[in-house]
Chain A
Amino acid sequence: MSSFFQRLRWPDYLIVAVLLTFAGYIYFSIGGSLNYVWRWHLIPNYIYSWHTTREEWFANLLLQGLAATIRISIYSSILALILGTILGIARCSANLTIRMLARTYLELLRNIPPVVVVFIFFFFLSQQLIDFLNLERWARGIARQDDIAVWEFFFGEMRRFPSLISGVIVLALFESAFVGEIVRAGIQSVPKGQREAAKSIGMSRFQELRYIVLPQAMKKVVPPMANQFITLIKDSSIISLISVQELTFKTVELVASSRLIFEAWITAAAFYFIICFSLSRVFARLEKGRKPK
């Protein structure tokens, strides 16, 4: 760290000073001209607070939202990985119809704004699926049971389970298109000689893919896949539009009820930033540690 400060010259200090002045000006002018009273001291309460009647600590709106965002991101990235791998394989298929279908799916998702895609998937697909599987009733049944700590740990509030599931599905379908492209690039990066060698020892197309091509392709796509996971966490804010109770949705709720407009949004931004930035650091370090083979 000391070497970092030693490398700074006087123009650097000048730039930092100007930036700080500007930030301070914005901060105070919000207080002045907009007549806004900063109430930062209230924010910790909305993260974690003391329940006076039940006499216990509980996770309040913002932390609930953060937990939901993490859950949704993990589940939908697993689902997106599965769907995306299938899609990537389909894109490289020998069958023209399969290739065209995969291509169509991809081009549709790439050229429609995410918000529109989310609404379409929500109304046309996940809602039907939830009605069809009768998930609402099943979840309410679970919610009425006594010992549901495990369920709540994995899925949050059980009454909200159907909404969580549709959020996960929508997000996974949306991201699968991009995961699919990454997988396709990985498959195509495996040299032709590998496929020929697999064929020459009598492997079927499936065995060739399963034992020779995919293991090599997947190893190559780990870095872009990690980036896509971070993108997915950020994209998860979109599904607040279909009332999935994740961080962005909870922040909107908090702003509406407490009018802590700036504080709440800055806190939400900080949460997203901390998660995404630390993940990207972790991935960068893992990438460095991976021995090139």
Chain B
Amino acid sequence: MNDQKPMIEVRNLDKFYGSFHALKGINLTVHQGEKMVVCGPSGSGKSTLIRCFNGLEFHNSGTLIVDGVEVHENAKEIRAIRQEVGMVFQQFNLFPHLTVLENLMIGPMKVRRLSRADADDTARKYLDRVHIPEQADKYPSQLSGGQQQRVAIARSLCMESRIMLFDEPTSALDPEMINEVLDVMVELVDTGMTMVVVTHEMGFARKVADTMVFMEMGEIVEISPPEQFFTNPSSERCRLFLNQILEH
């Protein structure tokens, strides 16, 4: 895996909110096609970290290189980076004033400058991919949470980005809808997409992850392949965390 070219490179990255040290000297590399799952207790900086990857937050020091381009606050390339890095949010963030199809078409049409017909084709293709082609003309508020999150995934896919970030995609869902979203994500894994997923779904992680990352208090405590991570983690804190969430 590691002979692939690096897509995201993080070196000594620090991030502050005022005096709060949110990310402390993060070092991390995500290679092309790699599936990385980031876990850790809430407030540990997982979301902040992946939000740096597409410029929704900016780091204060260190270097962050995404797809060969250095990310910083004044980067002219920031829009280009965002087009290459799709993101799925915990709260879906679908556009409520647009239909499902329009939600998927607006990015390709306005940002990628595709024609309406092409954007329509792309949108329907990815709506098929997430198994809800029949919902195309509904508004987001008419869909269930699981369906909304699948539309949000399709919206990111429509931009044909090379990297996908997932920020706790199933945390806001009712339990019976979690699997339909995870299934779509597992199918996405098979396409060879580079993925960074922040989640507490350890079953999903065990199944798809190439690399597991455990974060606590703004630091990366452990990076290891899943076999080692789940059976024999090197740090005590990671072991405690896994015990807590795997007990149930």
Residues of A bordering B, CB below 8 Å: 191, 193-194, 196-204, 207, 211-212, 215-216, 219, 293
Contact = CB atoms under 8 A, between A and B. Distances in A.
A203 B97 contact: no
A57 to B, nearest CB: 49
B27 interface: no
Contacts of B155: 197, 201
Given A200-B82, A207-B110, 8 more contacts: A197-B93, A200-B85, A202-B80, A202-B83, A203-B107, A203-B111, A216-B97, A293-B96
7 contacts: A191-B93, A196-B89, A197-B94, A201-B106, A202-B79, A211-B110, A212-B95
Contact of A207 (B89, B111, B156): B111
Contacts of A216: 95-97
Contacts of A204: 79
B91 interface: yes
A216 B98 CA distance: 10
Contacts of B156: 200-201
A242 B70 CA distance: 60
A202 B107 contact: yes
Most-contacted residue by chain B among A191, A200, A211 (CB, 10 A): A200
A198 B54 CA distance: 12
Contact of B95 (A194, A200, A202, A293): A194
Contact of B86 (A194, A200, A203): A200
Interface string B233-246: 00000000000000
A201 B161 CA distance: 9
B159 interface: yes
A211 B103 CA distance: 11
A196 B56 contact: yes
Interface in B78-129: 79-80, 82-83, 85-87, 89, 91, 93-97, 106-107, 110-111
